[in-house]
């Protein structure tokens, strides 16, 4: 069954703040705080409780005062003002203010080390989520001088990448190295972070970390889901019109188009900054040609993948807008760009770093991948994750990343009543085999995936098991929405709507780049408490769902 994952929906990213490690939970003597620690780094990754008294001070002041008093917990090793930089301070619909902080040392950001303080409407700090690297001022490696220039780091990384993929990549944009502190498994280094986005000679979005002192490559990984999007295509002039056409499965759809003297383009200007659909003509150059049709009726078989890509992108946009008041994946109306007919017999779909890309499949393993709403919603949810929690795509945080996309891919399918179920990719996978799917959320073991934390994969394949171990979270989500008994634990279902609300708040408010499963549980409990009350039945169901899959 592992062979299926080599063609699993979406390609992968990589990087770990720490490998799979147990997490310890402790409470302070006064009982006011509950602290979850990462047992490997000894750093807290979720603190909750009444962490401060009610105050009329700004949320930033409240968070800074708490952190300054919590040196024995966090071990910044220096004044808090020198240890963090404010990235954002945002108020949500519940009246909470969320202060997101980047850990820094000597002004240099620590890659992936983000913490967020969460202050309620009464000025009470209720939680601090995320993990920092403790005791940075004592790290000898950070006392060394840097000798490697950023241009040298780029060339070192590019040479390694070219050897990996069998040729020099044609970059979608110039690489811009960033100077960071890179931490992994207790080691820290000054490093250059370099990103390469490309679609030729194969698709990839590789992240490299090059030691700024030695020039050695510290880490490299394909993070194709996690890239930052570009501006998208130039706006066209014309009239907004409605087209129709048949999708991959033969169903008829209507969708927004733009009509001018050229004909009818697959351009939807009614949502955010637009939805644009392109044709790669079975080549590997993107975005390709903006889809143009003569009569606004797209019923030919070649049209079908474009019809679905365009329509389902719009439906995914509508789900996030209508349910969560989120304007596109970034909340700011970002353009949604899709390319269909990518390459020949290409068995994948992915977020390239700038857009969505869909292969036609080989007709045996897959039919055109844009033909499944849950696939498109899955991939675009990776973009939502990228612009919120920014979950690192390796090990536990990567498995959470994958599961969040599966969860919302399924919820979008249910929202539009599109033959909904708790299977992933069933509409376009192995067309000659009925009932088959890439993954089952109701029973992950059908595909050889774990349904309990005790059975998690702890090797290095699949970026540390990001697709396989997503089964743990997927099973919890299924139980939370539907109820059931698993490993002797009974879970009372709360329905898709409430489950979706909890997972959305968990993702956009409480998860941070290096979240572990234990932090994930604490985040979901806190999100449910915010929405329904700490003593609610919904919170009880969240706790039971995570307990049922062995996450404490």
145 vs 136: which has the higher pLDDT? 136
Q: Counting Cβ atoms within 10 Å, is residue 481 exposed (0-12), middle (13-18) or buried (19+)?
A: buried
pLDDT, position 42: 73
C-alpha count within 13 angstroms, C-beta hemisphere, residue 449: 30
CA distances (Å), origin 267, targets 4, 5, 247, 296, 340: 34, 33, 17, 12, 14
Of 2-6, 452-456, 460-464, least confident by mean pLDDT is 2-6
Q: Residue 312, SS3?
A: helix
- The pLDDT > 70 percentage for the chain reads 92
240: β partners: 258
**Count of CB atoms within 10 A of residue 398's CB?**
29
For the stretch 461-474, pLDDT in tens is 888 999 999 999 99
Of 25-34, 125-134, 337-346, least confident by mean pLDDT is 25-34
Q: Counting Cβ atoms within 10 Å, is residue 107 exposed (0-12), middle (13-18) or buried (19+)?
A: exposed
Average pLDDT, the chain: 91
CA distances (Å), origin 337, targets 29, 299, 357, 544: 53, 22, 9, 40
18 vs 151: which has the higher pLDDT? 151
Which CATH number is 143-222's, of 3.10.450.40, 3.40.710.10, 3.40.50.2300, 3.10.20.30?
Answer: 3.10.450.40
Decide if 467 is catalytic: yes
Confidence category of residue 225, pLDDT binned at 50, 70, 90: low
pLDDT, position 203: 85
The dihedral region occupied by 318, where left means phi > 0, alpha psi between -120 and 50, and beta the remainder, is alpha
List alpha helices for 43-182, DSSP H.
59-69, 71-74, 80-83, 150-165
In eight-state DSSP terms, residue 9 is S
Average pLDDT over residues 306-334: 98
Can you give the pTM of this predicted structure? 0.91
Catalytic residue from among 131, 172, 226, 379: 379
pLDDT, position 80: 96
For the stretch 185-224, pLDDT in tens is 889 999 999 999 888 888 888 989 999 999 999 999 887 7
pLDDT, position 39: 62
Catalytic residue from among 341, 467, 486, 538: 467
Query: Could you tell me the CATH superfamily of domain 389-548?
Result: Neutral Protease Domain 2 (1.10.390.10)
pLDDT, position 37: 83
> Distance between alpha carbon 236 and the CA centroid of its chain, in Å?
31
For the stretch 267-290, pLDDT in tens is 999 999 999 999 999 998 889 999
**Count of CB atoms within 10 A of residue 258's CB?**
24
Average pLDDT over residues 291-310: 98
Of 11-20, 152-161, 431-440, 484-493, least confident by mean pLDDT is 11-20
Q: Is pLDDT at 228 greater than 50 in this prediction?
A: no
Give me the DSSP letters along 252-292: EEEEEEEEETTEEESEE-SSTT-EEEEE-TTSS-SS-EEPE
Residue ranges of the domains in the chain?
23-130, 143-222, 239-385, 389-548
Confidence category of residue 336, pLDDT binned at 50, 70, 90: very high
For the stretch 76-114, pLDDT in tens is 999 999 999 999 999 999 999 999 999 999 999 999 999
Note the CATH architecture for domain 239-385.
Answer: Roll (3.10)
85: β partners: 102
pLDDT, position 29: 37
438 vs 21: which has the higher pLDDT? 438
For the stretch 26-68, pLDDT in tens is 333 334 689 988 866 778 999 999 999 999 999 999 999 999 9
Residue for token pair 């299977």: 423
């Amino acid at each position: 069954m592992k062979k299926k994952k080599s063609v699993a929906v979406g390609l992968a990213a990589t990087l770990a703040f720490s490998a799979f490690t147990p997490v310890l939970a402790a409470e302070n003597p006064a009982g006011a705080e509950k602290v979850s620690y990462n047992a490997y780094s000894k750093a807290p990754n979720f603190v909750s409780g009444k962490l401060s008294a009610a105050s009329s001070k700004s949320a930033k002041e409240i968070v800074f005062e708490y952190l300054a008093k919590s040196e024995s917990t966090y071990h910044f090793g220096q004044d808090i003002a020198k240890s963090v930089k404010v990235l954002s301070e945002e108020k949500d619909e519940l009246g909470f203010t969320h202060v997101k902080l980047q850990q820094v040392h000597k002004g240099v950001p620590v890659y992936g080390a983000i913490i967020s303080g969460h202050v309620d409407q009464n000025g009470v700090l209720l939680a601090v989520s995320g993990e920092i690297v403790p005791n940075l001022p004592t790290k000898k490696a950070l006392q060394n001088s840097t000798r490697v220039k950023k241009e040298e780091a780029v060339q070192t990384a590019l040479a390694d990448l070219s050897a990996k993929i069998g040729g020099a990549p044609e970059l979608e944009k110039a690489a811009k190295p960033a100077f960071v502190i890179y931490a992994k498994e207790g080691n820290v280094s000054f490093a250059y972070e370099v990103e390469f986005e490309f679609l030729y000679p194969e698709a990839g979005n590789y992240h490299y970390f090059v030691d700024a002192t030695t020039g050695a490559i510290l880490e490299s990984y394909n993070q194709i889901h996690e890239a930052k999007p570009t501006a998208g295509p130039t706006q066209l002039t014309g009239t907004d019109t409605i087209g129709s056409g048949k999708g991959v499965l033969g169903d008829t759809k209507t969708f927004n188009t733009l009509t001018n003297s050229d004909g009818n383009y697959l351009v939807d200007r009614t949502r955010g900054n637009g939805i644009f659909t392109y044709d790669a003509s079975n080549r590997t150059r993107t975005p390709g040609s903006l889809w143009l049709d003569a009569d606004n009726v797209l019923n030919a078989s070649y049209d079908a993948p474009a019809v679905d890509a365009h329509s389902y992108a719009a439906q995914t946009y509508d789900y996030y807008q209508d349910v969560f008041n989120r304007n596109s994946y970034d909340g700011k109306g970002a353009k949604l760009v899709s390319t269909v007919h990518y390459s020949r017999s290409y068995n994948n779909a992915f977020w390239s770093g700038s857009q969505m890309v869909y292969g036609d499949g080989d007709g045996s393993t897959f039919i055109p991948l844009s033909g499944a709403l849950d696939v498109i919603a899955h991939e675009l949810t990776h973009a939502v994750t990228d612009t919120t929690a920014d979950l690192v795509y390796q090990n536990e945080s990567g498995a959470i990343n994958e599961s969040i996309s599966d969860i919302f891919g399924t919820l979008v399918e249910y929202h539009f009543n599109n033959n909904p179920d708790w299977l992933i990719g069933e509409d376009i996978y192995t067309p000659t085999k009925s009932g088959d799917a890439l993954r089952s959320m109701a029973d992950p073991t059908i595909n050889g995936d774990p349904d309990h934390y005790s059975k998690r994969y702890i090797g290095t394949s699949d970026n540390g098991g990001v697709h396989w171990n997503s089964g743990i979270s997927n099973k919890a989500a299924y139980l939370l929405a539907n109820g059931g008994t698993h490993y002797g634990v009974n879970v009372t279902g709360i329905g898709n709507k409430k489950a979706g609300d909890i997972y959305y708040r968990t993702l956009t408010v409480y998860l941070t780049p290096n979240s572990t499963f234990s932090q994930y549980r604490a985040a979901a409990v806190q999100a449910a408490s915010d929405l329904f009350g700490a003593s609610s039945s919904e919170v009880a169901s969240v706790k039971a769902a995570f307990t049922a899959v062995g996450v404490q």
